[in-house]
Amino acid sequence: MRVVGLTGGIGSGKSTVAKMFESLGVPVYIADERAKKLMNTQPNLIKQLKELLGEKAYDANGLNRAYIAQKVFTDKALLQQLNNIVHPAVADDFKVWVENQKTSTPYVIKEAAILFENGGYKNFDFTILVTAPEESRITRVMKRDGVTRQSVLDRIENQWSDSEKVVLADIVISNRDLEKTLPIVKKIHNKILFKR
């Protein structure tokens, strides 16, 4: 079974593309969602996060994402410490998840916002990068999250540019027009199955 990494900058449509693969029967591990779940349920993780970020990291509804995001946004060292706690927990969880898929599928996908920046791409059989024009990414996220143009630009600036990622990616999906993206995804899916 092959393990495929899927990534893309904010608003590129990586979650949308991941769902397309899922609709074709491919098991997809969404790193951000799993991380959120682990941070809400794993006692050891909760303890470490409270030690790092303070008791306010959790409220009555569980993980206080807004508080954490605001705390780490301007503090790169703190963000690094947070990642050092969360990433190994997600990596362990992913290993177990992959083991559980083994009998039923020729390949699985891990969707992650960061794949190239941290060298994680080396752990995959191959990688898929989703790209879109910057202007489309900005308007999509403004609409989806109800946020300002500047806040999207700030987040884009914190990530690697598409041109830096394109050189490392094995497959690039240009996600401009949704109707054109689905046939591309189907074609890639069939190629992966055929090359088994």
Does the annotation flag 151 for ligand binding? no
Nearer to ligand ATP, 69 or 178 (CB): 178
Asked if residues 115 and 2 have their Cβ atoms less than 8 Å apart, the reply is no
Of positions 4, 5, 6, 11, contacts ligand ATP by CB under 6 A: 11
In 3-state terms, what secondary structure has residue 107? strand
Q: What string of DSSP letters covers 142-195?
A: HHHHT--HHHHHHHHHTS--HHHHHTT-SEEEE-SSHHHHHHHHHHHHHHHHHT
| Position among 78, 113, 142, 153 found at the interface with ligand ATP (CB under 6 A) | 113
User: Which of the stretches 21-29, 36-44, 97-105, 175-183 binds ligand ATP when contact is defined by CB under 6 A?
Assistant: 175-183
Is 16 known as a binding-site position? yes
Kindly determine how many residues on this chain lie close enough to bind ligand ATP according to the rule CB under 6 A: 17
Asked if residues 176 and 133 have their Cβ atoms less than 8 Å apart, the reply is yes
Q: State in angstroms the smallest separation of the CB of 104 from ligand ATP.
A: 26
Does residue number 127 form part of the binding site for ligand ATP (CB under 6 A)? no
What does DSSP assign to residue 56?
Answer: G
Strand partners, 8: 130
Q: Rule CB under 6 A: is residue 110 a binding residue for ligand ATP? A: no
Binding residues for ATP: 11-16
